[in-house]
Amino acid sequence: MRRVIPTLKACWPPCPAWTTRVPACRFCNAIPFGSLTKNAPMAMITVDSLNLSFGTGPALNQVLRDVNLQVEQGQSFGLVGESGSGKTTVLRCLAGQYHHWSGALSVASQTVQRKLDASHYRTVQMVFQDPYASLHPRHTIDAALKEPLSIHRIGDRDRRVCEVLNKVGLNESFRFRYPHQLSGGQRQRVAIARALILEPRVLLLDEPTSALDVSVQAEILNLLADLRRQQGLTYLMVTHDLGVVAHLCDRVAVMQQGQVVETLDSSQLINNQARHEYSRLLIQASRDMDLRPTG
């Protein structure tokens, strides 16, 4: 005799509030009430077995070795490690600056091709370490911000420029200034504004505060935290400063010699719970810093 389990039938496909299909009951082919789960976190960035080498023969230098990462939607994810460990190279692969990598990359469920089309840059933008070097010295801030809009044939440019400047804490008077007329912190705000003007979903942040005075670094970190919260952005950030990771990142991957040796939650970092020897060495090297997030 067939066993009967009291249950409520669930329809398929489910309503938009539910996305994960669960196995039906093996006795009655119904889905038990309460078995459906709410939206699982979406992987906004996926890096699968990423490899990259430069040179050939005796001069071959493998800079990335089977790198695997997953960054969820709305998450801020840090990459840390010594210089030359491959952190920035990962960002540049995702940004389309390197084309001869192997492996699989995806952003917002779209496969990243080695030769990217313009639509990729509507989703992903990069903020560089040196804001002065990333801004044309003979272009006004207005011209720098309108250039991406022109490339992507987006109209209503004056309004968009004013809005994005306001988002980063600069008023309209900055539109017609030149980079040399701005402070380091103001230039970095402009660089962030230029990345935001196409309304991307992902920002790749390459040491976004390392070129700034200590007094300005906290302002930029707070700005980035506010923007992520307000706009639902996802961050993948390279930094050598574990204090920055503790302040801004939810999770962090530790890289050494082109490999990810450990992935940690921010709380594990703060509480010195790393398992890998190299991760512990990084924390030990930063022991004089206050790793507790402020605010």
- Whether the pLDDT of residue 75 is over 60: the answer is yes
pLDDT at site 20? 35
- Helix-helix angle 184-196:157-167, to 10 degrees: 130
Cα dihedral: 166, 167, 170, 173 (round 10): -30
Sign (positive or negative) of CA dihedral 240, 101, 193, 69? negative
Give the CATH superfamily of 73-100+114-285. P-loop containing nucleotide triphosphate hydrolases (3.40.50.300)
pLDDT tens digits, one per residue of 2-27 = 444 333 333 333 333 333 333 444 34
Give the span between the Cα atoms of 73 and 95, in whole angstroms.
18
Q: Are 32 and 7 in contact (CB under 8 A)?
A: yes
Share of the chain above pLDDT 90, in %: 62
Give the span between the Cα atoms of 65 and 129, in whole angstroms.
24
Give the span between the Cα atoms of 188 and 203, in whole angstroms.
14
Give the span between the Cα atoms of 7 and 273, in whole angstroms.
44
Domains of the chain, by residue range, sit at 1-40, 73-100+114-285
Q: Are 71 and 77 in contact (CB under 8 A)?
A: yes
Q: Report pTM.
A: 0.82
Calculate the alpha carbon distances from 43 to 14, 36, 106 in Å: 21, 20, 9
pLDDT tens digits, one per residue of 201-226 = 999 999 999 888 888 999 999 999 99
How far is C-alpha 283 from the chain's CA centre?
A: 22
- Whether the pLDDT of residue 106 is over 90: the answer is yes
- Whether the pLDDT of residue 257 is over 90: the answer is yes
Q: What is the DSSP letter of 47?
A: E
Q: 208-211: long-range contacts (C-beta < 8 A, 24 or more apart)? A: 208/127, 208/129, 208/237, 208/239, 209/239, 209/241, 209/244, 210/129, 210/239, 210/240, 210/241, 211/129, 211/130, 211/131, 211/132, 211/184
pLDDT at site 85? 94
How far is C-alpha 18 from the chain's CA centre?
A: 26
Give the span between the Cα atoms of 252 and 291, in whole angstroms.
13
Give the span between the Cα atoms of 187 and 167, in whole angstroms.
14
Q: Are 146 and 164 in contact (CB under 8 A)?
A: no
